[in-house]
Structures are given as C-alpha cells and as structure tokens.
C-alpha cells in the first residue's frame, strides 16, 4: 500500500483516456495504488462509487486553494 503523503495521489481518468474520454469532467484524484490497479480499463461499479466520494472530497480541498491546483498535484 502506498503511504498517505500528498505525492501518493495522482490524476486519473475514470474512463480510459485512450478510448477518447479526455474531458476534465472525467478526471478524479486517485491514490497511486488504485490508479495502477485500474490501469487502462473501464471502472467497476465499486470504483465509480469510490471515485465519486474522492471527487466530493477533492472539491472541498480545491476550495481551500481558491480553485487552484495544489503544487503537489502538478508535480505528479
């Protein structure tokens, strides 16, 4: 399991970008381990539910930065 540091988070396309799903609305925060596990495939129902929960948390986090992406996410 990946540690809980800020660098353990990645941007992930919920539906594969390689299949043409490149919209910003398709992006979520995902822990590095989950992102690697999902790889380049369609998500399961459980993964979609988890992504929705992460997205809600991420929006709160972004509000704390006035809508700007925190530096730790741009370094990934």
Instruction: Determine the pLDDT at residue 1.
Output: 42
DSSP states of 30-73 as a string?
Answer: EEHHHHHHH-SSPPPHHHHHHHHHHHHHHHHHHHHTTTPPPHHH
Instruction: Determine the pLDDT at residue 31.
Output: 81
**pLDDT by residue, tens only, the chain of 76 residues:** 444 554 578 888 888 999 999 988 888 778 888 888 888 998 889 888 877 787 777 777 777 777 666 555 544 4
Reported pTM: 0.55
d(CA 24, CA 28): 9
Instruction: Determine the pLDDT at residue 75.
Output: 44
């Amino acid at each position: 399991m990946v540690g809980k540091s800020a660098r353990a988070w990645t941007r992930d396309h919920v539906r594969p970008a390689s299949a043409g799903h490149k919209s910003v609305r398709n992006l979520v925060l995902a822990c590095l381990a989950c992102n690697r596990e999902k790889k380049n495939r369609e998500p399961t129902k459980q993964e979609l539910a988890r992504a929705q929960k992460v997205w809600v948390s991420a929006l709160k986090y972004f509000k704390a930065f006035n809508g700007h992406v925190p530096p730790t996410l741009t370094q990934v």
